[in-house]
Structure 1
Amino acid sequence: MTATTPVFFLSYARTPGPHGADADQPVFSFYDDLRRQVARLTRVTAQDAGHVDAPDAPSDAWQSALAACRVFVPLYAPRYFTDPLCGRQWTAFRRRGGRHYGRAVVPVLWVPPTDGTTLPPAALEISTHLPRAGGAEERRAQDRYAESGLYRLMELEDDQRAYRQVLARLAERVARAAKDSPAPAGAEQVGDRHGLEDAFAPQRSKPTLRITVLAPTAGRLPPGREAATYGPDTESWRPYRTASGSLTQQAIALAGNLGFEPELVAFDKAYESIAHDGPGREPARPVAPWVLVVDAWALGDPRTSDMVRRIDRANRPWLAVMAVLAGDDPQTQRDRKRLTERLRDTLSWHRHLDDVRHTARGAAAQGIAQPDAFAWLFAELAKSCYLRYLDSIQDDSPRPSSGPARRHGERRTTSD
């Protein structure tokens, strides 16, 4: 190894302010102790054993050392997980190490988390435990380390022996990880620091997309309907025989790809939430954009047909109705005229289909014959329903990553 290929990279959160370098002096003392121990175990010079950024180091000086090191040693402390630079360093090492990068991470409990706080998800993947070796004295040292952190052991005179014992175990973990870790990556695999995400930044929650599928089951079929495309529950319905998986599975996957968190809602519950037409009841308040997928065969039941008609009459802007008339189902094709008339009668809001047949909503209400058309229309309607939902609540809600951008207060016309 050379001076540019350290065994380990020590990542720490700098103390802000003019006296930060003095406050961080214990970090550099620990670093010197650790690199001497690691040098002895790996048979390299102390200079080659480790790297730590000096207080006055340029903001991007760490990249070449991080790209070349074998082991990543983060100093866990409350400030560490709120420092964007530490989060980017973690991301850089994870990027160059691949999915098994955790094997080359040796965290140090510098200052343990305070009561009631937890480590961020990225850090929870990495074990902080040391090997339970040695006698009772060393086990007590490790217990004090887990409870109080290494900084306290290092600073208190009575705990110097415990500090040395924990330091030795940490050095052993670093040396073992260096031996087992892959060859160092090139600096280009670390990437530009400005393009690195903070691994500890809170993740924005995905917006919910409610999905309701209305279809018969194999045990409750409309009169004369064949059971080939149905299963024990609605989620098993597979109208397109050339498509893999059920239609519910396809809808969930499509919603996830669009950046939504899909939520399946049973039809009866959807009716209560959408139609909301009882006497003395206030108009329904939108809780999420919604897609209702309807099997035209299910509308042969008068009660079900009436419920769908009431949902359609409610004319919720954040709801899209998608009707399925599978083109590869022989029975559906034989009865296509009758099923199409049933759709036109039930979806009364779409009586003007001749005027809107070229829009996504019009095409979806007429009956979708092919699975690729279903996927395209689902994507278009999910995004437009989301925009209409945002207009309904007039709030800064999170947007799906692949959906159209929208600024607060800006209304966007849709052509669905």
Structure 2
Amino acid sequence: MEPYFFLSYARRRGPRVLVKRFYDDLCAELRRLRKGNPMPSDRPFLDVQSIQVGQDWNAALGDALGNCRTMVALYTNDYFRSDFCGREWKAFEDRQRSHREVAGVDAKALIPVLWEPVQSIPPGAAHIQYDNLAFGENYAQSGLRRILAADPGGGEYRRIVNLLARQILVSAEHFRIPAVSGLDLTAPESAGPFPSAADRAEPGSHALLLVAARTSASAHKWPKDPGCHGESPTDWNPYHAESAEPVARRASQLLEERGFTVRTEVVSDVLGATLDEARGQGQVAVLLVEAQAAADEPFGRALRAYDRSNHPGSAAVVPCGQDEAGDGPQSKAYWEAVRGVFPFNWSKGAGDPLPLLQSGIGSDQFDGALHAVVVKVQNHLFSFQETLKLSSLESDQITSTSLPVLSTVAVPPDQTKPAPPTPARPASDPILLEQEQDR
């Protein structure tokens, strides 16, 4: 197998319509440039199309990366947070480096595509030039994904695809980087240059996911229930229109990719004690909260107590579906429910997202929001533990290693139901072709 190019991208959950469309358009443009002649190697590699049901996916990826002529990397924030994308990057970059050492020339066979704007490029990928003035200002500011979504058959998109196909054609036809057999992307030595050490959990790190959500049995009393519940709160899936994966499972997989060992529980009346125990064991804790679940006990009671208390090492994420994030009646009910269960944090933030309370999180924002709060939670937890150690050294009265009881902050009577501020919600992404998440 010798794919003409290998498409490397962050595999988010949900449909990948735009990624597949770009892949098909790039293949078609390469055939056109070759004047209809078949490519002198196997069909370009896209995992969801090239790996067959029942096939060993790790072996298939290893074969494709070890023999492909070029690699096209779709740059996104999630791409540089993905351990597996880092492994794909390293596998191909090692082959390209070997060619440079032997031939004395750079094949430029690793071709970056700015799929979405990125906050920063990790040091391990910074040496690859990805800015391209020929692609235009719109590409540099918004990325190719938005250009494709706004006008799939437009001249700007077609021109960029043509330029990318020409880059692939030159590298694939004029250079043959050394092939590598037996690549195992899961091996420890195959770890790539991203995510960075600062973003990747230390080995042995533990995370606790706590879910507060209704079940299909308890959700029936709400009108127009979207059908995103199951037998257990952990089956809750606010993004069911885009993915069949429960949000707790999605969060668990994202954290495991960063090196965490993850445990999932359901919020109960002993939430405070559970969080204290997790903090004492050095675990980060993330609450996944369905806003409307606050009306059900014991969720409402436990979450309101959490809102009034100081729990270092924990954060709350309140996902929402598309209807809840819009401007209709479901959106109004959603934000009222958020204010009802988190009145203290809401009044502190005046409606703006707080670092440790992220609400209004749609499917396309969830991965990034979870990543951000976990980093914050880790920093808070480490800071708390260091402060505790210093206090223990300075005070002769502390003879035990037990953690202090955290005080509860009372909510002023006139703030229990604050005036509903207009919540700051991210601007909508004008996706015309799909409601999509990549990996």
TM-score, reference length from structure 1: 0.41
User: Radius of gyration: which is bigger?
Assistant: 1
TM-score, reference length from structure 2: 0.39
Q: Which has the higher helix share?
A: 1
Tell which has more relative contact order, 1 or 2 (C-alpha 8 A, sep 6+): 2
